[in-house]
């Protein structure tokens, strides 16, 4: 994974016979929508790295973070897992992602800390899985939006991007509203598609809240007030998924700002 | 979201007219496969909570974690976001998930810390998005596996579970192998489906590594050595997605152990 350590994401040159073309809705030179700022997505010229630390009971979570910080890391994410590999003296795995420090240096900075059994540099989840399209709604429609989004993301990932398509099938106004709100807390979520047939009430309020946090929302054309607040309303679920990917792809020139409020 | 604060996940009783039936492959009373241990998935009888902390430049990341720990929290996840709501004096948002402490008490424990503008209890991502099925491969096949998995997860989520279906479409042995390895670092990932037509070599090594970490792997029937190591090989992509969900659902009695090595 060391080819990803520059934070610019991997490009598999075997699969790129030509320069990546840009899909265009905008005129050349016309500014695109500014991307959602995201500490966990690679940026050119900025180091983004991760370290996986396998620890025993003597390890001090906070001590490890202090050591990383003293080495220069700006920690952006921590995830803790139970040890499942059966390694001696390991009961937890801590994955820490940070900016401004190389992963190999970070691993060396924590390797001698009490309780640390193994510390090694890793690619970050943002380098591997990239920006996320989130699809919420009913099973049949989520599946069709996902089909469009997965197919379109394939085309962009072939050109060196990393876009993943993540879904949850749910029922009930309150359940869906709570889930929409939680999209703002979901790492690397850059756009939401609401794949339902009737969504309004508390869901509409939740949509406004996540739009205020910078996450655009595409809605299928449907009954309920959600279509009145969505950034874009699309009738065909496959096209809704496709447009969601185009809206966040660096290799597409599709402006939600220019399409905002239109129905397709 | 307070109805989720007991860590048992939400049940929308409006949509449940009957007791949830259990889908069965096993005989009644026959033990199921043990679930993958996961600190971020709700467990009956164990408190799992989150706090969202919106902070300014004076806030000290480590100080906040120390305060939470002193209040009794076992921190299992931290995610940091740039502030995007335009609130005065807020430049970052820290979402912290922990066990053994109520979210409201946790919010009170950090509210007076330097730099903290707002601290509020939240549902955890595990309570909202639950266990994750991960699908990796080529766009056309990822989309079909996703269709099966989303449709099947819908049936289980209707009965109170939370299972989400997350995908990435990729090409290239090295890219895919690195991504398979990273599934072990992905929070709440409980099963992987490889949706391709030719996968082997380094991908097969990566599959063995994540199996050793406790994550089962279903492979489409395909060219390459991946099918020799997969826990299950399935020809129909829709069925592969369906089986992946059944294998991790609490409301299904489907044992990968009993099916291991078989081809469908």
Do residue B166 and residue A171 have CB atoms under 8 angstroms apart? no
B206: distance to nearest CA of chain A, Å?
Answer: 12
CB contact (8 A) between residue A151 and residue B138: no
Does residue B169 belong to the interface with chain A, where contact is any CB pair within 8 Å? Answer: yes
B192 min Cα distance to partner chain A (Å):
14
Q: CB of B60 within 8 A of CB of B88?
A: no
Whether the predicted pLDDT of A8 surpasses 70: no
Percentage of chain A exceeding pLDDT 70: 88
C-alpha distance from B182 to closest chain A C-alpha (Å): 7
* Mean pLDDT (whole number) for A192-217: 97
Return the pLDDT at A25: 67
pLDDT > 80? residue B21:
no
B49: nearest Cα among B3, B117, B100: B100
- Residue-wise pLDDT for A67-103, tens only, equals 999 999 999 999 999 999 989 999 999 999 999 999 9
Question: What is the tens place of the pLDDT at every residue in B132-171?
Answer: 999 999 999 999 999 999 999 999 999 999 999 999 999 9
A38-66 average pLDDT score: 95
Q: Please give the pLDDT value at position A4.
A: 41
Quote the percentage of chain A above a pLDDT of 90. Answer: 81
Average pLDDT over residues B233-258: 93
Q: What is the mean pLDDT of chain A?
A: 90
How buried is B12 (Cβ within 10 angstroms: 0-12 exposed, 13-18 middle, 19+ buried)? middle
pLDDT average, residue stretch B9-33: 58
A87 inside 8 A of chain B by CB: no
* Cα–Cα distance for residue pair B213/A97, rounded to 1 Å: 20
Residue B255 has pLDDT above 90, yes or no: no
A10 touches chain B (CB under 8 A): yes
Distance, CA of A117 to CA of A262 (rounded, Å): 56
Decide if pLDDT at B5 tops 60: no
The neighbour count for residue B194, using CB atoms within 10 Å, is: 29
> Are A167 and A142 within 8 A, CB to CB?
yes
Whether chain A has a CB inside 8 Å of the CB on B198: the answer is no
Residue B191 is encoded by which pair of tokens? 């099963």
Q: Do the chains contact at A79 and B150, CB–CB below 8 Å?
A: no
Q: What is the mean pLDDT of residues A233-250?
A: 96
pLDDT band at A110 (very low <50, low <70, confident <90, very high): very high
- The number of angstroms, rounded, from the C-alpha of A151 to the middle of its chain's C-alpha atoms is 17
Per-residue tokens: A153: 């993301």
User: From the CA of A20, how many Å to the nearest CA of chain B?
Assistant: 15
For residues A134-153, average pLDDT: 97
- A198 at the B interface (CB within 8 A)? no
pLDDT band at B235 (very low <50, low <70, confident <90, very high): very high
Q: Least CB-CB distance to B213: which of A39, A85, A168?
A: A85
Under DSSP, is residue A58 helix (H, G, I), strand (E, B) or coil?
A: coil
Position B252 confidence tier, pLDDT thresholds 50, 70, 90: confident
Instruction: Give residue A243's pLDDT.
Output: 96
């Amino acid at each position: 994974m060391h080819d990803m350590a520059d934070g610019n994401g991997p490009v598999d040159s075997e699969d790129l016979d030509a320069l990546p073309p840009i899909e265009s809705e905008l005129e050349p030179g016309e500014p695109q929508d500014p991307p959602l700022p995201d500490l966990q997505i690679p940026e050119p010229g900025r180091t983004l790295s991760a370290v996986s630390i396998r620890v025993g009971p003597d390890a001090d979570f906070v001590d490890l973070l202090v050591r990383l910080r003293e080495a220069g890391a700006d920690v952006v994410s921590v995830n803790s897992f139970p040890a499942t590999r059966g390694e001696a003296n390991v009961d937890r795995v801590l994955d820490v992602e940070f900016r401004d420090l190389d992963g190999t240096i970070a691993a060396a900075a924590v390797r001698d800390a009490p309780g640390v059994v193994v510390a090694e540099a890793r690619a970050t989840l943002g380098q591997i899985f990239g920006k996320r399209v989130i699809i919420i709604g009913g099973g049949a429609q989520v599946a069709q939006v996902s089909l469009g989004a997965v197919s379109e993301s394939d085309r962009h990932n072939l050109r060196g991007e990393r876009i993943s398509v993540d879904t949850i099938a749910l029922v009930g106004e309150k359940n869906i509203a709570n889930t929409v709100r939680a999209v703002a807390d979901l790492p690397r979520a850059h756009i939401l598609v609401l794949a339902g047939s009737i969504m309004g009430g508390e869901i509409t309020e939740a949509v406004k809240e996540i739009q205020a946090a910078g996450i655009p929302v595409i809605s299928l054309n449907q009954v309920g007030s959600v279509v009145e607040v969505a950034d874009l309303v699309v009738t065909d679920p496959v096209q809704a998924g496709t447009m969601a990917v185009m809206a966040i792809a660096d290799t597409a020139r599709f402006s939600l700002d220019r399409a905002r409020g239109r129905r397709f």
